[in-house]
């Protein structure tokens, strides 16, 4: 039921013989009782919050500026902008920890005590509160947009590699499965990115901030719980974003509670920033424009270009031409011994995957160290790109140097660099690859690989749908 906008003075509503409830409330409405003045406890809390959120939001950490100066600003990448948007003050090295927050809180409390002693007669902090919200709004917006675009253009969780598709479900970590399960549905990933972007963009306007928080809190709340459940490494950071959003939501929380839960007449925010000073007006527009230009226009177009030509999770170096696929290991001879097929043999390879890029993975029964990276990092150096093998057991991953003239492959294990192969290859037909050479400088190897015409269920089902008889 639409309503006519009602803009009448609250006192007048009472005078009109209006509802009893409204009359009763008049005395409990703080704004009416003591117009504008903040209670001592509100002031104390505000001083703490101010210092706390300023430290949490504005980059003051020297490590951040070291990063800023490392950036090649003439050849800016989306990875650089992503890093810049991911600021959080760190006092402790290593893994992100809530201890960092504790330090900030202690500083904030000490600062608030000193500040309180020097500023006893203050009537209110409406202005400072406004500016603090501005800082937090933009900080939060940057954080959301940074993650929003790499989902909107599905970069963060790319489609699973052939090796990943040929890994047993139980040989993948929960976090890896989370990423792969998102990667198979790029349009859903884009949708999630869109929600995140909408939340971020609505923060750029003062009046839509609360609506933005209604999107952000459930969304990032879900991200936070996903991080906890799937053993992701970003639960501290996602909770950091939630706290910023909760802080912004708190501004209108009472009003919304009053209007929707108590269903009582409610006075809106009465504070309006005054931008009558032309310098201030100009500064505001300029800063807003710079923010939008940098985090929306530049970052948006760079992630778009990245999605088309320069995604970041998989290596870029091209692999052996026309070799991509999974191969059965038809023959395996080590130091002259031919080993028969065996599912349990710890030496014999079971199957081999050639990716489109220069990665080769071998399924083998031998135990291996598993990369446990579970935080988002954008690298433009192939050697640092670990998405394909992070959280993944069951296979050994090798990067290789290809010499097409000499027909050699020089394999190096991506997790354990001392594990290397120097192999010569020949391709008698389009489905066969013969490898011969030396592993780890010790054992001689002769391997015959036969390409398997592997069909992946979810891709096949897409072609025919889920109804009717289906055989695979």
Which residues ranging from 331 to 370 are in contact with other proteins (CB under 8 A)?
Answer: 340-344, 350-351, 370
CA-CA-CA-CA torsion sign (88, 89, 95, 101): negative
Tokens of 325: 């696929």
SS3 362: strand
Euclidean distance between CA atoms 329 and 343, whole angstroms: 12
Shortest Å distance, C-beta 399 to other proteins: 21
Q: In the complex with other proteins, which residue's Cβ is closer, 260 or 282?
A: 260
The answer to whether 344 and 365 have CB atoms below 8 angstroms apart is yes
For other proteins, the closer of residues 190 and 408 by Cβ is: 190
The footprint of other proteins on residues 288-327 (CB under 8 A) is none
Q: Which stretch binds other proteins (CB under 8 A): 104-112, 240-248, 311-319, 464-472?
A: 464-472
Tokens 């937090």 — which residue?
A: 136
Which one of 114, 174, 250, 293 is in contact with other proteins (CB under 8 A)?
A: 174
Among 165, 243, 298, 347, indicate the residue that binds other proteins (CB under 8 A): 165
DSSP 8-state assignment for residue 297: I
User: Closest by alpha carbon to 323, among 429, 185, 419?
Assistant: 429
- Please report, as residue ranges, which positions from 102 to 131 form the binding site for other proteins (by CB under 8 A): 124, 126-127, 130
Which of 67, 255, 356, 424 lies at the binding interface for other proteins (CB under 8 A)? 255
CB of 326 to other proteins, least distance (A): 9
Q: Which of residues 432-461 bind other proteins (CB under 8 A)?
A: 454, 456-458, 461
B/e letters for 228-257, b = 16+ CB within 10 Å, e = fewer, are: eebbbebbbbbbbbbbbbebbbebbeeeee
State yes or no: residue 169 binds other proteins (CB under 8 A).
Answer: yes
Where does this chain touch other proteins (CB under 8 A) — which range of 67-75, 99-107, 406-414, 463-471?
463-471
Q: Using CB under 8 A, which residues numbered 176 to 235 contact other proteins?
A: 177-178, 180-181, 184-185, 187-188, 191, 207-208, 210-211, 214-215, 218-219, 222, 225-226, 228-231
**CA 372 – CA 178 distance, rounded (Å):** 14
The span from the CA of 190 to the CA of 231, in Å, is: 23
Which x/- pattern, by CB under 8 A, does the window 235-254 give for other proteins?
A: -----------------x--
Q: Which residues pair with 362 in a beta bridge?
A: 352, 396
Among 260, 281, 286, 301, binds other proteins (CB under 8 A): 260
Q: Which C-beta is closer to other proteins: that of 25 or that of 376?
A: 25
Based on its alpha-carbon atoms, the radius of gyration of the chain, rounded to whole angstroms, reads: 29
CB closer to other proteins, 107 vs 217: 217
| Interface residue with other proteins, options 72, 94, 120, 261 (CB under 8 A) | 261
**Residue with structure tokens 């939340």?**
199
Q: Does 463 bind other proteins (CB under 8 A)?
A: no
Burial grade of 124 (CB within 10 A; 0-12, 13-18, 19 or more): middle
Among 10, 59, 116, 233, binds other proteins (CB under 8 A): 10
Beta carbon of residue 13, minimum distance to other proteins (angstroms, whole number): 7
1 near other proteins (CB under 8 A): yes
Site for other proteins in 11-70 (CB under 8 A): 12-13, 16, 18-20, 22, 31, 35-36
- The H or E element that residue 415 is part of is none
Q: With beta carbons less than 8 A apart as the criterion, state whether 421 and 445 touch.
A: yes
Q: Kindly state the tokens that stand for 45.
A: 């809390």
Contacts (Cβ under 8 Å, ≥6 apart) of 422: 408, 410, 411, 437, 438
């Amino acid at each position: 039921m639409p309503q006519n906008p009602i803009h009448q003075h609250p006192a007048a509503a009472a005078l009109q013989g209006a509802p009893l409830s409204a009359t009763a409330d008049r005395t409990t409405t703080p704004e009416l009782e003591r117009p504008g003045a903040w209670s001592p406890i509100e002031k104390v809390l505000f001083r703490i919050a101010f210092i706390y959120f300023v430290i949490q939001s504005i980059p003051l950490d020297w490590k951040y500026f070291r990063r800023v100066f490392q950036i090649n600003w003439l050849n800016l990448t989306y990875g650089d902008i992503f890093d810049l948007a991911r600021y959080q003050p760190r006092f402790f090295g290593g893994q992100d920890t809530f201890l960092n927050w504790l330090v900030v809180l202690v500083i904030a409390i000490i600062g608030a005590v000193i500040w309180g002693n020097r500023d006893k007669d203050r009537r209110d902090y409406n202005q400072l509160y406004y500016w603090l919200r501005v800082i937090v709004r933009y900080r939060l917006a940057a954080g959301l947009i940074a993650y929003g675009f790499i989902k909107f253009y599905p970069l963060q969780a790319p489609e699973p590699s052939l090796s990943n598709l040929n890994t047993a479900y139980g040989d993948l970590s929960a976090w890896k499965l989370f990423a792969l399960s998102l990667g198979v549905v790029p349009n859903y990933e884009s949708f999630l990115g869109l929600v995140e972007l909408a939340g971020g963009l609505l923060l750029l306007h003062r009046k839509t901030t609360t609506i933005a928080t209604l999107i952000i809190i459930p969304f990032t709340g879900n991200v936070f719980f996903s991080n906890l459940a799937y053993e992701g490494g970003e639960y501290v950071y996602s909770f950091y974003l939630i706290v910023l959003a909760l802080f912004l939501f708190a501004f209108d929380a009472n009003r919304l509670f009053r209007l929707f839960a108590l269903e009582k007449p409610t006075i809106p925010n009465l504070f309006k920033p005054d931008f009558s000073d032309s310098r201030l007006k100009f500064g505001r527009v300029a800063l807003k424009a710079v923010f939008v230009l940098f985090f929306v226009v530049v970052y948006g177009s760079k992630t778009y270009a990245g999605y088309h030509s320069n995604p970041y999770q998989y290596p870029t170096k091209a692999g052996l031409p026309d070799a991509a696929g999974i191969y059965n290991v038809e023959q395996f001879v080590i130091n002259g011994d031919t080993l028969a097929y065996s599912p349990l043999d710890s030496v014999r390879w079971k199957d081999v995957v050639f990716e489109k890029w220069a990665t080769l993975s071998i399924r083998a029964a031998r135990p291996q160290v598993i990369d446990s990276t579970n935080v988002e990092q954008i690298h433009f150096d192939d050697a640092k790109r670990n998405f394909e093998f992070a959280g993944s057991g069951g296979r050994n991953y090798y990067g290789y140097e290809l010499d097409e003239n000499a027909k050699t492959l020089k394999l190096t294990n991506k997790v354990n660099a001392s594990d290397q192969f120097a192999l010569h290859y020949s391709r008698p037909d389009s489905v066969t690859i013969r490898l011969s050479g030396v592993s780890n400088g010790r054992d001689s190897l002769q391997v015959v690989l036969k390409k398997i015409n592997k069909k992946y269920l979810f891709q096949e089902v897409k072609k025919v749908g889920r109804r009717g008889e289906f055989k695979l």
